[in-house]
Amino acid sequence: AWLSVGCGTGCTARVALAPTLAKLPVGQWTRVGVPLKCLAKAGADVAKLDRPWSVGTAGAMTVSVSRVALGALDQAEQTVDCAR
């Protein structure tokens, strides 16, 4: 699973979500944060985002999303690690 964003013609970035999602408890709401630096590291120009987010997977996945927001990572209960 991944989160992707678009930032104009030929500008896109994809960040892996699977390692973070695999740690989450099933059936429980959890706030997951994706640092903008992860998107920038993956190639996005975060100052020009025109497709704020989409989620994709190569297989089957069931996920519920109740809110998408730009905000401080201190509000997230789990944060995607993009150090790799």
Q: Where are the domains of the chain?
A: 2-79
Percent of the chain topping pLDDT 90: 76
**What pLDDT sits at residue 16?**
94
Q: What pTM does this model have?
A: 0.83
SS3 of 27-71: the string is CCCCCEECCHHHHHHCCCCHHHCCEEEEEECCCCCCCCCCCCCCC
Phi then psi dihedrals of residue 75, to 5 deg:
-85, -15
Cα–Cα distances (Å) from 60 to 9, 11, 29, 70, 75, in that order, read 29, 27, 20, 27, 28
Residue type, 21: L
Q: Of residues 84 and 82, which shows the higher confidence score?
A: 82
Q: Which tens digits make up the pLDDT trace of 22-48?
A: 999 999 999 999 999 999 999 999 999
Q: Where does the pLDDT of residue 69 fall: very low under 50, low under 70, confident under 90, or very high at 90 and above? A: confident
Cβ contact 18:2 at 8 Å: yes
